[in-house]
Structure 1
Amino acid sequence: MIDVEAERKEILRDYRKLLRYAKPFLKDNDAKIIKKAFNTSLEAHKDMRRKSGEPYILHPLAVAQIAVEEIGLGTTSIVAALLHDVVEDTELETADIEREFGPSVAKIIEGLTKISGVFDYGTSQQAENFRKMLLTLSDDVRVILIKLADRLHNMRTLDSMPRHKQLKIASETMYLYAPLAHRLGLYAIKSELEDLYLKYTDTTTYKDISNKIRQTRLARTKFIKDFTHPIEDELRKYGFKFNIKGRPKSIYSILKKIKKQNITFDEIYDLFAIRIILDVPPENEKAACWQVYSIITDFYQPNPDRLRDWVNTPKANGYESLHTTVMSKSGQWVEVQIRTKRMDEIAERGYAAHWKYKTGPGTGESGLEMWINKVRDMLETNNSDALEFMDEFRKNLFVEEVFVFTPKGELIILPDKSTALDFAFEIHSQIGLQCLGAKVNQKLVPLSYKLKNGDQVEILTSQKQKPNEEWLQYAVTSRARTRIKDALREERKNKAEQGKIMLETRMAAIGVPDTQQNLNKLQAFFNVSTLQDLYYRIATGHTDIKNIKEIIFTASVDKNASMLGPKSFDKEVQKIRGVNSDMLVIGESAENWDYGMAKCCNPIPGDDVFGFQTEEDGIQIHRTNCKRGIELMSNYGNRIIKAKWTEQMELAFLVGIHIKGTDRVGLVNDLTKVISTSLKVNMRSITIDSNDGIFEGNIMVFVNDTSHLNQLIQRMAKVNGILTVERFD
């Protein structure tokens, strides 16, 4: 039975909390407008409930709360957040919103409303919606900030969703929204989204690491206290106003470190960072940060390779801070971040905080605004399909920068791993298109040369130069890639025109009319997907014009050899799957299903898996935490199939185990005994490499399921001399 009164109280409590947080910046009429938006949303969603069973209005309230409390947005954003789902889910339309709340709010909601309707096969509704949302970036960055708040709340309440929905939403978050939060400088939100992704796709690892962080909390607190004690005394002596925080790293970043460096949880030295936040006037910021650095290094020895100065050269998303790693008295490395209150707020709240600190004329353009202008530029010039566009956009999200100079000493900031070719396009599209090579620090280098910090670059051009396909292999920036693709498309179009004329001449010569039917026969004979492709192949000599003979048009065509078109392919898949049989049970006699294990992650029974319907290879089974899987679930939600392993499974699956240890005589013999004799596991291959008394190796074995594999890993870990044993993809 629903307790209406208790629900009413909860809604009011959330609404009052929102007003309490908004109060400091409310102007004359703002409270009235927020109240009107709340009542409109309450009325519009009155009969709706979330999957968890709670009243729907709690979701818009929570999104508005995140927008204010965690991102620092204002009244317009609160109103838009409260109304963000009404156009999509209720009778209200954008025109009604504009009439009641003005054009700014209406435009933001328009940007947040998903595109409905039918999509062509091979495109992705998610990608189209994402592109639509990004187009509004040109007008109002708040669209994306509210979308991130919406996504964060959905991820926090993902428990009530069915498993396949959890995987799809979590993967989409990891693929797009976490990188976007990172790029907009919202570090706290980015970290939470990554951790929540891990919680739903690899629950065991998530719980394991969070338990370990919890268990080490007391020791960590004591360590921070001892470490900061002498520094605090010294800072007070110099008259600094400051605040010191010790924060553990996010679960996801700890896991990334474990995998990247191939170490265990206990071996990670910088599990947490100590942050010193100074309260100083803007004009003294730089000097104060370096003075504090000097104080810290008086007490603790710094690691010279680990100094990061983002105070003099902020990151592109506006992040400013001075990082150093120092050796503590107990022999542990500790990362210390030195920053001011202003820098800390920008680091936590990103874009919204930027505007707060932009005062007066001549404040210059921040790295973040430069990035947003680049995105605008990219959106205006990009005419590729939504999926390709989204992939290009993603590549530009999660990157560090490289700082280089023009011959006149002007600083140019490019994404890390950019090449001389990217630099040329950054200067001007025309220079990029005619780029022959470059001189870096007076030395001649090829277009593929990867730029390093401090390089001075001069571009050499030629009127005769033209882009070719190979350029795409070493262009990194979306600006360069888009311009190159446009030039190649144009070139291809011109070539196709030539090919068309050549074909018409040839067909006239052999006395065959160029009717659509005859052209279709040609297309089928040469097995090309479009006529444009055929024209292009003729013009470039890939298809020899002399091979076009009369017999092609007179030979009868096998009526049964018709290929399934994409649309009917989907229908066939639906037919095979049946209306209710939406679960693929792996290992049962499933003659209706054509499935195989994905090579990218080699799933075995016991792994959490899903199926993905491909066009050529039937259904591919992936692990839910597979990197390729993230992309598939983000972009092709409609082709994801729920899958589980059958209970009566006695098949053997190939799996890779990576081992590391100290070398000794007879070690390999002991390992193979454990594998073959005690656990009766078949080995396919073993490669071991020993160097200076340390050995590393990979063993490929056949196991039945994850519990069989875990048993094997535990037994191998007990062999004398073995340090780590873990599964690899």
Structure 2
Amino acid sequence: MIKTNSSSVRHTFGLDIQSDLNILLEKCRELIPNYDEELIKLAFNYCVISHEGKLRKSGEKFYTHPLAVAFIVLEEIPLDDASVAAALLHNVTDESDIYTYEDIKFTFGTNIAQIVEGVSRIKFVESQHIDRTDQLDNYRKLLLSLFTDVRIILIKLADKLHNMRTLQYVSPESQKRRSTEALQIYAPFANRFGLRKIKFELEDLAFKYLNPKEYEHIENTIKGTHQERELYVEKFKQPVVKLLNEEGFLKKNNITYTISGRAKHIYSIYNKTLLRQKKVEDLYDIFAIRIILDTDNPLFCFYVYGIIANYYKPIPETFKDYISSPKENGYQSLHTAVAGPDEKIVEVQIRTLKMHQFAEDGLAAHFRYKSGPYTSIFEDSNLQSWFDEVREIFENIGTEDPKLYEIVTKNMLSDTIYVFTPKDEFRKLPKGSTALDFAFNIHSKIGFSAIGAKINGKLHGLDQILVSGDKVEIITSKKQKPNKSWLDFVITSRANTQLIKYFNNEEKEAIQKGQKIWERKNQEYGFSFTKEEMNAILTAFHFEDIKQFYKSLANETLDINKVHKFIMLQISEKLHPEINHLENKDNVFKNTKTKKKEKNKINDFDENKVILASCCSPVPNEQIFAITDEEGEIIVHSKNCLSYKQLMHTHTNKTYNITWEKLKDIAIKIKLKIIAYDTENLMHKIIATLITYNSLLIKSISQESNNSIVTIKVVFEINNDVIFTDLIKKIEEIDSINSVERII
């Protein structure tokens, strides 16, 4: 069963819930000044309720795991009461369906909720089984990008440590995978935080499962438990301390010192066997002490060496003078090995305080040797400074300095996110990147053909913003073509560059295609136009330049047949008066006045020959008139048409009064563009408004979203019994509608 690590308390968790809580509160009172007892009680209750009836693989009640993590956070790191509460809650949302993130946020506040969510997110990332060695540094970067609050990683370290302590209950495959994560990912983090005991324990536990035979061999060789090894080091130090304290020359020169000793850990010993190509039995520095002298005079190091060598027998060929001959990186110290009590070999290092400080500054190289080659993220000087600041926080638990919270919530990699592909390949992207940015990061072809994304197994749009740890799969279609609206939500230079290049090429090709269509059609009709005439045509169809006109022809948003028909009917007096190729010579426009006479009326006509003019697209309730062309077609215009006066003048004998009652069976096509805030049931409300008109027939409806703004395009047909202005007014009255615009 799980027990506390406190030397003052022996308690087995899981036997009595109230006793477990009492022990926890007692330890909080001891270690956290002014802790919030009600907060801890509430978090403990949430923990127990969430995991009621569930067991771990060891057979223990599940709530004992978060409780054990809380004790590690409390005793071995240590952290504040909010961290203890978050540790108790760290499995509540992902291992139970009783409480949600919003419940945690409402009850415990945003800070604790975000810590819990951060730990849960790391668990999801771990579930992806990232075990490729070439991805380890990216994996560390990914984890760092998730740590919006440094307490997230510290609680995760505690969680990892407890899981490693109970690793014997899971499958061999899980043992190896989790041990690799502990060794390559979490032990380096613990080391950088100054949590050396946790670092050493993670390394030894991981090594035990990754290389059990070698672990057992080293353990049997050095004999005794870790605690026994520590006791041996203390036994070695006692006479050394006595000799140095009694040494008159050191007293005379006011030389003070510190002495620290440690028994090396099994994984550390294993690394030495590899580095030195020696058997465990041949290593002379399984036990080590370090003496640091508070002086700038290096000669005192040699003096102290003489004192120690006089008491303990030096091992031949182990004396290294790195003071007189520093290492290439500037490291200075005296190294030797002596035969300690029971003839066991102990490594001794002697240096001045200044040498020691320099040695600590060069920790990066030492760290690389200790933990392998995958540690580049830890060489960042800003990150190292942040880690150092965090270590200072551990010494000030319970203080109210707001600067401490600023440091705790600081994230050195906040401008970067790390996501991975379905094949567990990491991708580094700027913060705020969307699924489409990810698609272009994979390949431009993937980006151009993307229609959606599966993010952590759920379908999302291309504008979905990614966060660190997301697993992204892009869904593509051969029929997909990039949309210019994509430029509104991509943020990476690669995506922007590729899209702009695509649209520029597309525009160039469209202009060339449209020009060919125009020239071919004009050749077919025998038309040619001057620059002045062409400008008049562009103005009539609301184009700013000839390129837009050509693009519309290529994209089929403009019907060239309607353009030619419009030319025949709408040619202005301002154009060249001798445009014989547009109409017969007898019908050339002349600046002559016509006698006023009553307009013609249409009585009987074939409705199949009625065409609603594309230049003004009349709608019911507008006053209208009609023109007949040479083919007998009846073209209906609004009297608000910009060409009304001109047509009355040039087509006197072909102009007729007409009313909507005469056009009762004509289907009137309407295109609307609706801009609104993206609210719930918006589309439903719009459709519900349209179908209240019995004669209205919806032809198509589409929607595009940009953040909180949605653009809806509707195409429908109505008969003359629908009052168009009333329809528009009803749509505008829907909540969240910004504007309703008719597209002509």
Give the TM-score band, short-chain normalised. Answer: 0.3 to 0.5
Compute the TM-score of the two structures, normalised by the length of structure 1: 0.43
Higher relative contact order (CA 8 A, sep 6+): 1
- Higher Cα Rg, which structure: 2
